[in-house]
Structure 1
Amino acid sequence: MMTILRTIFILLLLTTFGQSSFAQKKKKKNKSNISIAPVQFLTEEEQAEVDHYFLEGEKYFLLQDLSKAMSAFQKVLDLDQKNAAAHYKIGQIYSENGDMSKALPHAIFAKSYNPKNKYYYLLVSHVQTNLGDLNAAEKTYLEMLSEVPDTENYWFELAAIQFYQKKYEAALVSYQKAQDHFGPMEEITIQKQQIYLKMNRLDLAIKEGKELVALYPNEPSHALSLAQMMLSNDKYEEAEKFILSKVDHYQNNERLYIFLSEAYSKQKKYADAIDVLKVPFESTTLDLSRKIRTMAGYLEMLPNEELNQPLLELAEALVKTHPDSYQALAMTGDLYYNINERAKGREYYIQAVAIDGSNYNIWQNILSLDLELEDYDGVIEHAKMALENFPNQATLYYFEGTAYLIKNDYENAIKIFNAGKAYAARDANMNSLFHGQLGDAYNSMGDHSKSDDAYEQALKAKPDNDHVLNNYSYFLSLRKKDLDKAKEMSSKLVTDFPENSTYLDTHAWVLYMMEDFSGAEKYLKLALQYEPSGTIIEHYGDALFQLGKIDEAIIQWKAARDMADDTTTLDKKIADKQLYE
């Protein structure tokens, strides 16, 4: 047991003295020439005691028992106040404990008494840096590099401190010193690039980048970094020339083609920009999201005769390369939508939700296109499918109910609207839309009591719902019920929408039913200025007839007949010169 302990102690002793530089004590035969600095005159007995406590301190320091280590090193100083190694170790302990203010004087003392020991300089600079005194740390590094041989690798640390202090010129000098010693290095060139960029010396940063590419010709990351730097600093033409000089060398490097595309695009060479995207879009290794972001940038330019077909080819390549990606299919759907091929766009959207139905926006796109294409059965089918994924989305009920309403399937419309309105209760606008549609459905079924109640609920949620104000006031006028209320609503409409022919016609018809034929004539005449329809022209003829302007009325009825599908009533009015309502 004693042999093992003695061996460990000797190893500990050798390790300790191998890592630190101490001043020599008096040389003795068969003794190591590395020892504690004999700064003051000590007897041999005192020196032995110093050595003993120092070794004790080193042992506890290595065992991370810092309290005992500190005590031992302090005993060294009690015997030898100017012992540089003990000051260094005490400084180390304070540093490890985070007490930099106490560590600093010990570190400085050690360095002062042994100015050739790099570890003492490094402790001083470490403490100064942690204290935030970077200027002092910089001076310490400079002193060490001047005084201590074989410390050239610390030019990097010095340069980093100078860079942090925005002493860019000084940092460049330090990196150049490192380069003079070690030769060209990737790290040095990259750091010099960053400094030049901070100094707004883009030309020099690019020059360093080109040197780096030349130094490492088989490393594409440097070419990519340089291309990106040029693009980020609006050097689009220079980036184009540089990338074109490298695409053959780095064949099929997808990111390089992406950058080339960006360089073309920034110069408004859109056809070229799209053409060079074929390589990355046919690649399975390039990130799909990067492709989609690139293509998305062109959507706002569409439709465009020059770009439509090239983008379609890219989209097809995207889907071919990523056949199981709903994002690729959805992006292709977006493309077809933007070039006004709505049906084709819907096909891709439907394929996308077949793979992953969790994207609500795609479902909305499908339903909007169903309505636009007047495929009301498609609206109903797709709304039901979407509700399986999003059962609490009021908008989906609204789409389905509206499709039933358009198909005159009022019972199913009412059923769906009543089911969905619970999910719309917290949204005033949506709540008003649901009740408005219910009002229309109940009115079409002849249930005026429920219709009026639904309209009232709609206006309670959103008093300026123009669809409800129009329909409610018009249906009341047809029933000649609550005409004052109808007039109040229609008056609000024509005030808010003075150029809407439908609303002007509604207001005119309310006035007509109130036997204000002059007022009706006035607003019908206004309506005809904007968007005349057969109904508005017929109403205008009716108002003229009521005002005794028979011949003028017949002229309007004949004009309305030319625009009508069913002319039975109009033919009778014209033939009999009589009003039939």
Structure 2
Amino acid sequence: MNIRKTLYITIAAVLLVSGTLDAQNRNRKTVTVTPEQILMDAVTLIDNGDWQKAGSMLTYLTENQPDNDAAWYYLGTCCLYAGDFSGAQKALRKAASIDPKNYWYKDRLATAYSMSGETDMTVATYEAMLEEFPDKDDIRYSLVNIYIQLKEYDKALKVMEDLEKMYGKNENITATRYDILLRQGKTDAALRTLMDFNSEFSSPRILSMIGDHENAEGRDSLALSRYLEALELQSNYAPALLGKADILYSRRDISGFFSCLDKFVSDEETLPSVKAQYLNMLITRNGTLFLNNHKEKLEALYETLVSMAPTDSTILNAGAVFHYSTGRTDKAKDLLHRNLKAHPESFDANIMYIQILGSLDDWEGISSVCDSAITRFPEKTDFLEYQNIAAYHLGDYERIIDNSWKIISMSPGDTAKIVSALSSIGDTSYSMGDEKTAFKCYNKALRLNPDYAPVLNNYAWYLATKGKKLKKACAMSKKTVDKEPDNPTYLDTYGWILHLLGEDKEAKSLFKHAMLYGGKDSYTILKHYSLVLEALGEKELAELYGSMAEKIKGEED
């Protein structure tokens, strides 16, 4: 850090830069503030995430002390955090030019190039740094990762050789070289790398990698022997346990398979998130049959997980997903409720609990959770939207309208949210008998998005039920069918309007299409179809669809 002179600034300058002075200093004419203090204050602001204010302070400092390399460095860092990669590169280049022997300035500059996707400059910077700082192995590891991304595998291997000469063989170098050789398609050489290391050093990690390689090549007996060797060295080594479990399952040794999983799940050293991720993958990979055949054993594993980490969010969520998949919705609800109690400030915990309540039609519960979440997350509209769903089922239409106006006020410039909220206000207002407000909201929504199908459909339907502006309704409804040709609701609306306009042949083809996409499950669509058929003189077919409609109505009643 080369601060070559002391800078004194007036109180006005301090106010401009930091905006902070205690009350007793405000009555004084001048206050001296050193560059070191400004720099320290700016760094504190960066640490607290206030990059805008820190940037203003650092910009002021660099303008008044252009040779202050530390100020340029932190200005570059500030720009980097704020996503201004061009500004970051400019500031960091300046810092490095003032103090060309500073490793950290150049390392941060390389990061700025990398984050902006300038791979060539990233590589050039690291390669130049390697010549200047040959003892910094972090540079070599960074270069290896970049060379792998660029598929320059020979260069990556050369750097790995240098690392091995410097530090000797170790697990990380061996594992990386193995990965590079596999990417080159040199399978035998890759395996030989692992075997050579294992001949000198016994390692659970490398032995497990050999086992994985042998297993992938179909040599499961050799693979199993390697996993067992690894477990002799470290009995709870997760990759070896899971590799062994995989082979036992393929051999239909279900008891041995679950014994391995029980040991894996019970291990206190393995991260809960790793356990949850593996079990979720296991169920997803093996499908419903596996889940149903081994439900009790899997349940025991999840119970162990929860008992070992009763407040861990990943565990509680994973257990909830499992129980929901097996039809135990109440158990899933209990776990998600526990997760919400343990992590009330978690957005995801709130959302997942609301979703499980929705699957149980617990609209009162959703509304209550949303009340709390709206307070915790005042900037989010999600909970207002979920509460609107609950309010619809509870018949609380005033709340829907109030929430929707809040969503609009919270979403300036977000056309999608505004249009959706206007649609909700329109639909709800119409249900409450306020046709004027409903149509006003629909018109506002369509000015913002003329192709928004839900508004087009409902607006057209309400006009049709009133017998008003049928040609306008027809044009709007046609747009919905053009956009979603297999939506039975839109087909029904369009078909019915055509019927009202006397175009029954065209209407019939739409209803026939609707029958293929769920129309047979709707009383309204079936009834409309029967009336269209009757208008065409097809009485027998009309009676058939009419009776189907009445049957559905009877079941609903």
Q: TM-score range by the shorter chain?
A: 0.5 to 0.7
Does residue 415 (structure 1) correspond to residue 402 (structure 2)? The answer is: yes
1:388-440 per-residue CA deviation (whole Å, 9 max, x = no partner) reads 32222212111111211123221222222222332344433332222222221
Query: In the alignment, what sits opposite 2:153?
Result: none
CA distance in 2: counterparts of 1:499 and 1:190, whole angstroms: 57
- The within-5 A match list for 1:120-199 is 197=178
Does residue 227 (structure 1) correspond to residue 208 (structure 2)? The answer is: yes
Residue 450 of structure 1: CA displacement? 1.0
**Residues 315 and 332 in structure 1, CA contact (< 8 A), matched pair in contact too:** yes
Task: Name the CA shift for 1:189/1:465 in 2 (closer, same or farther; >3 Å).
Answer: closer
1:122-155 per-residue CA deviation (whole Å, 9 max, x = no partner) reads xxxxxxx96899xxxxxxxxxxxxxxxxxxxxxx
**Residues 534 and 564 in structure 1, CA contact (< 8 A), matched pair in contact too:** yes
1:541 paired residue among 511, 527, 530 = 530
Query: In the alignment, what sits opposite 1:242?
Result: 226
- Matched residue type, 1:227: S
Does residue 561 (structure 1) correspond to residue 545 (structure 2)? The answer is: no
**Residues 521 and 544 in structure 1, CA contact (< 8 A), matched pair in contact too:** yes
Task: Name the CA shift for 1:555/1:386 in 2 (closer, same or farther; >3 Å).
Answer: same
Q: Which has the larger radius of gyration?
A: 1
- The within-5 A match list for 1:343-354 is 343-354=330-341
Residue 317 of structure 1: CA displacement? 0.8
Task: Name the CA shift for 1:189/1:498 in 2 (closer, same or farther; >3 Å).
Answer: closer
Residue 354 of structure 1: CA displacement? 0.8
- The within-5 A match list for 1:469-484 is 469-484=456-471
What TM-score, normalized by structure 2, do the two folds share?
Answer: 0.60
Query: In the alignment, what sits opposite 1:296?
Result: 280
Task: Name the CA shift for 1:518/1:293 in 2 (closer, same or farther; >3 Å).
Answer: closer
Residue 534 of structure 1: CA displacement? 2.4
How many residue pairs match? The answer is 394
Task: Name the CA shift for 1:250/1:414 in 2 (closer, same or farther; >3 Å).
Answer: same
Runs of 4+ displaced beyond 6 Å = 129-133, 165-168, 189-192, 262-271
- Matched residue type, 1:485: K
- Matched residue type, 2:402: K
**Residues 208 and 226 in structure 2, CA contact (< 8 A), matched pair in contact too:** yes
Q: Secondary structure at the match of 2:228?
A: helix
Residue 331 of structure 1: CA displacement? 1.8
Q: Secondary structure at the match of 1:358?
A: coil
- Matched residue type, 1:294: Y
Q: Secondary structure at the match of 2:490?
A: helix
1:333 paired residue among 294, 310, 320 = 320
The percentage of aligned residue pairs carrying the same residue is 19
Task: Name the CA shift for 1:534/1:345 in 2 (closer, same or farther; >3 Å).
Answer: same
Query: In the alignment, what sits opposite 2:189?
Result: 201
**Residues 340 and 349 in structure 2, CA contact (< 8 A), matched pair in contact too:** yes
- The within-5 A match list for 1:405-554 is 405-530=392-517, 531-532=519-520, 533-547=522-536, 553-554=542-543
**Residues 175 and 206 in structure 2, CA contact (< 8 A), matched pair in contact too:** no
Task: Name the CA shift for 1:481/1:289 in 2 (closer, same or farther; >3 Å).
Answer: same
Which sits farther off after the overlay, 462-471 or 226-235? 226-235
- Matched residue type, 1:354: K
- Matched residue type, 1:501: P
Does residue 371 (structure 1) correspond to residue 358 (structure 2)? The answer is: yes
- The within-5 A match list for 1:11-50 is none
What TM-score, normalized by structure 1, do the two folds share?
Answer: 0.58
Residue 213 of structure 1: CA displacement? 4.9
Q: Secondary structure at the match of 1:331?
A: helix
Q: Secondary structure at the match of 1:277?
A: helix
1:310-339 per-residue CA deviation (whole Å, 9 max, x = no partner) reads 332221111100112222211211222344
Task: Name the CA shift for 1:567/1:195 in 2 (closer, same or farther; >3 Å).
Answer: closer
CA distance in 1: counterparts of 2:538 and 2:195, whole angstroms: 88
Query: In the alignment, what sits opposite 1:42?
Result: none
Task: Name the CA shift for 1:544/1:409 in 2 (closer, same or farther; >3 Å).
Answer: same
CA distance in 2: counterparts of 1:542 and 1:195, whole angstroms: 72
Query: In the alignment, what sits opposite 2:267?
Result: 283
Query: In the alignment, what sits opposite 2:199?
Result: 211
Which sits farther off after the overlay, 193-202 or 423-432? 193-202
